[in-house]
A = this chain, B = another copy of it.
Amino acid sequence: MGITKTELFTTQQNELALIAKAFAHPARIAILQYLVKSKSCINGTLVQELGLAQATISQHLRELKEIGLIQGSIEGVSVSYCINPEKWEQVQGLFNGLFDELNNSCDSDSCC
């Protein structure tokens, strides 16, 4: 019926899928890269940079914020977002864990 059966999977699998979903849109990738590059940004700047409507950017920012990848602090009229280093590290760990699973089980070209 169109709803993901999370109960069938492990916490790690569900967690990884959620984070991957955050990366699964080019606008959110672009936002993260811009955040990294400029160390902080505001919604308005991103509207110029990306070419999407202000409401759309705001929505993408919220998704990134909801899973903890970024955090925002009010600066006068605007809001300054930045990467959350702890979460970012955790994300790297999860992905690297997945990648290592293959690299270890598949030492040479003997695989597949």
Number of interface residues of A (CB under 8 A): 48
A77 at the A/B interface (Cβ < 8 Å)?
no
| Cβ contacts A9-23/B at 8 Å (1 or 0 each) | 110011011101111
Q: How many copies does the complex hold?
A: 2
The closest CB in chain B to the CB of A37 belongs to B105
Q: Are A29 and B111 in contact (CB under 8 A)?
A: no
Q: How far apart are A60's CB and chain B's nearest CB, in angstroms? A: 11
* B23 lies within 8 A of A16 (CB): yes
In whole angstroms, how far apart are the Cα atoms of A13 and B92 in the complex?
Answer: 18
Q: Is the CB of B24 within 8 A of A9?
A: no
Which residues of chain B come closer than 8 Å to A17, judged between CB atoms? 23-26, 28-29
